[in-house]
Structure 1
Amino acid sequence: MNIGERLREERVRLGFNQADFAAFAGVAKTSQFNYEKGDRSPDADYLAAVAERGVDILYVVIGQRLPVTEPTLSSDEIEMVEHVRSLDDEDKGAVKRLLRAFSHKK
């Protein structure tokens, strides 16, 4: 398995399509396609950007998994966190109360 194949595997594992993955990594969709196809190699900036989204870079580059220390967030969870981070403190408190109420409701 090569870097492109492992990169695709990580993207799929995290639940992203190529367009979304390319967008948060700061590259064109065609670049993402070429990385996964093995026609081009990603640079350090790209790898740093995808690492922030939960990609196991050691696995992508050399095929060895990092030990899992905490669960990775799904794309939906990442989106929710990004929305919460954009709120002011009062709204964050309201969201926190709402989540507590829903989590106790079963």
Structure 2
Amino acid sequence: MTIGARLKEERERLGFTQPAFAGVAETTKKSQIDYEKDLTQPKAGYLAAIARLGADVQYIVTGERCPSSLTPDENELVDCFRCAPLAVKAATLAGLKAGANPPSNTEQQGARTQVVTGSGNRVAGRDFYGKE
């Protein structure tokens, strides 16, 4: 994913239109469009302005989310996930993935989400009790 695509993703996540985002960052709609199409790269002043809106500038530039940019409910989710047993983690990931990419109506009929644990009740190289 490109810088422009991540910038657009962050703008949409925050609920801004291109003109509104550009206005807050003191640039033009055309510049915003050019940034999102990767025709030009945003400057530091622009990135600082959108960071004040809640944009994850680290993610936009590098593709890696900044932990401090998470919302309180996202932080709670991460905390709970980290403390959960591996079986719960696997089931949670399967459920979230299924919800993020819902199947078409024809695929939904009789569809079930299954967690594949592999041999010996292991997920990602660990057993359900967190042992390696």
Distance, in Å, in 2 between the alignment partners of 1:29 and 1:47 is 15
Alignment correspondent of 1:45? 45
**By how many angstroms is 1:17 displaced?**
0.4
Distance, in Å, in 2 between the alignment partners of 1:24 and 1:69 is 19
Q: Is the alpha carbon distance of 1:26 and 1:70 closer, same or farther for their aligned partners in structure 2, counting shifts above 3 Å?
A: same
* Greater C-alpha Rg: 2
Alignment correspondent of 1:81? none
Q: Is the alpha carbon distance of 1:67 and 1:45 closer, same or farther for their aligned partners in structure 2, counting shifts above 3 Å?
A: same
Alignment correspondent of 1:30? 30
Alignment correspondent of 1:58? 58
Q: TM-score, normalised by structure 1?
A: 0.65
Render the CA deviation track for 1:3-59: whole Å, top value 9, x for unaligned. 000000000000000000000000000000000000000000000000000000000
Q: Percent identity?
A: 50
Q: How does 1:1-106 map to 2 (within 5 A)?
A: 1-68=1-68, 71=71
Structure 2's unaligned 5+ residue stretches are 73-132
RMSD: 1.5
Q: Is the alpha carbon distance of 1:62 and 1:28 closer, same or farther for their aligned partners in structure 2, counting shifts above 3 Å?
A: same
Distance, in Å, in 2 between the alignment partners of 1:35 and 1:47 is 11
Distance, in Å, in 1 between the alignment partners of 2:71 and 2:52 is 14
**By how many angstroms is 1:69 displaced?**
6.2
Count the aligned residue pairs. Answer: 72
Distance, in Å, in 2 between the alignment partners of 1:69 and 1:4 is 19
Distance, in Å, in 1 between the alignment partners of 2:26 and 2:10 is 17
- Structure 1 runs (4+) deviating above 2 angstroms are 68-72
Render the CA deviation track for 1:41-92: whole Å, top value 9, x for unaligned. 00000000000000000000000001146628xxxxxxxxxxxxxxxxxxxx
Structure 1's unaligned 5+ residue stretches are 73-106
Q: TM-score, normalised by structure 2?
A: 0.52
CA contact (8 A) 2:56 2:69 kept: no
Q: Specify the code of the residue in structure 1 equivalent to 2:38.
A: G
